[in-house]
A and B are shown apart, each in its own frame.
Chain A
Amino acid sequence: MSDDFELADLLGEAPPRGADPGFRFDVLSRVAERNRRRAAQARALKQFSIFAAIGLGFAVIQAAGFDWSDGQPVLIAAAALTAAAAAALLTIQGPGLVLARSRALLRGPILRV
């Protein structure tokens, strides 16, 4: 009983020598889960920063004395151009591609993590 191995064995039997595939699977699942969680946190932080910056931008513009009525022609022109571009793409390439392109445009420069 005084033997070190006996003490060690009583404290907790070592798992069998050799690889336990179940244990490996559990470890890799945890790694993947942690990676997913970290990526989601980074994405959330980035989106929060972007929207906060946009909100701050509006506040700064308003504080600088810029009124909505001043910017209305520009906004209307931008909206009309966007609608025309979407309609053109829809005509040429079909609805699926337009949606994909819009998603890519949104994800690419603005929301990419």
Chain B
Amino acid sequence: MDAAEEARLIELARKGDMRAFGKLVDAHQTAVRAFLRRLVGNYADADDLAQDAFARTWEVLDRFDGSSALRTFICGVAFQYWRRQRRSSSRRQAREDAYAELADTQSEPPARAAARLALRKAMDDLPEDQRAALALCLGQDFTHAEAAGVLGLPLGTVKSHVTRGRARLQAAMGLTEKAS
């Protein structure tokens, strides 16, 4: 979707046009869902969060000033939702998530499932911002600058988060020395 078409759809959505908003959802759902899947690990919870983020975006679309891309704005909303949910989630929820992740790995070869679980454990141990920066940048869906916009962090901090986070994930996979 080109920028002019997106701006037109945003204008229509601001006036209450659900069909236009549906087109915006279609255009950006892949990036937002991929970001949250890497962040959360559990696909069902990630999609649930993504839907909440889009629904919230509908409510706060007036605050979008066009200084960044719309998907950056939506991912920022999604990040806030994830952070809030993470803070309020109980230990029971964490255990349920672990079981759900295990279920996700059951159709895979054992070696890959083990790698996935080890990586998820390492990802869960990372600080919130570092984890989110990695989730945004690892698949190269977002540039470092865009990730900085989503997370509200300086560009240098995001670059550092990605480098250090990547090193820690690789260390968890036994590929390199553990980074600080």
Please determine whether B120 and A31 come into contact, CB atoms closer than 8 angstroms: no
Shortest beta-carbon distance, A19 to chain B, in Å?
3
Confirm or deny: B41 has a beta carbon within 8 angstroms of a beta carbon on chain A.
yes
Confirm or deny: A36 has a beta carbon within 8 angstroms of a beta carbon on chain B.
no
Residue in B18, B50, B112, B135 whose beta carbon sits within 8 Å of that of A31 in the complex: B18
Confirm or deny: A70 has a beta carbon within 8 angstroms of a beta carbon on chain B.
no
CB-defined interface of B135-173 with A at 8 Å, one 1/0 digit per residue?
101111100000000000000000000000010011001
**Looking at A2, A9, A10, A19, which has the most chain B CB atoms within 10 Å of its CB?**
A10
The interface residues of chain B lying within 8 Å CB-to-CB of A5 are: 138-140
Confirm or deny: A34 has a beta carbon within 8 angstroms of a beta carbon on chain B.
yes
Please determine whether B51 and A23 come into contact, CB atoms closer than 8 angstroms: yes
Shortest beta-carbon distance, A11 to chain B, in Å?
4
Q: A8-B38, A12-B37, A12-B40 are in contact. Are A1 and B18 (CB under 8 A)?
A: no
Please determine whether A11 and B25 come into contact, CB atoms closer than 8 angstroms: no
The main secondary structure of chain B at its interface with chain A is helix
Q: A2-B170, A28-B22 are in contact. Are A10 and B55 (CB under 8 A)?
A: no
In the assembled complex, the Cα of A17 lies from the Cα of B176 at a distance in Å of 32
Confirm or deny: A103 has a beta carbon within 8 angstroms of a beta carbon on chain B.
no
Shortest beta-carbon distance, B61 to chain A, in Å?
11
Interface residues on B, range: 35 or more
How many residues of chain A get a CB closer than 8 Å to chain B's CBs?
27
Residue in B29, B38, B43, B116 whose beta carbon sits within 8 Å of that of A24 in the complex: B29
Confirm or deny: B81 has a beta carbon within 8 angstroms of a beta carbon on chain A.
no
Residue in B18, B27, B59, B138 whose beta carbon sits within 8 Å of that of A11 in the complex: B138
Please determine whether A23 and B135 come into contact, CB atoms closer than 8 angstroms: no
Shortest beta-carbon distance, A75 to chain B, in Å?
45
Please determine whether B116 and A2 come into contact, CB atoms closer than 8 angstroms: no
The interface residues of chain A lying within 8 Å CB-to-CB of B41 are: 11-12
Confirm or deny: A67 has a beta carbon within 8 angstroms of a beta carbon on chain B.
no
Give the nearest-CB partner of A17 in chain B. Answer: B30
8 more contacts with CB within 8 A, not counting A11-B38, A17-B30, are: A1-B175, A4-B137, A10-B119, A11-B37, A11-B120, A12-B40, A31-B58, A34-B55
Footprint of B on A, CB under 8 Å?
1-2, 4-5, 7-20, 23-24, 26-28, 30-32, 34
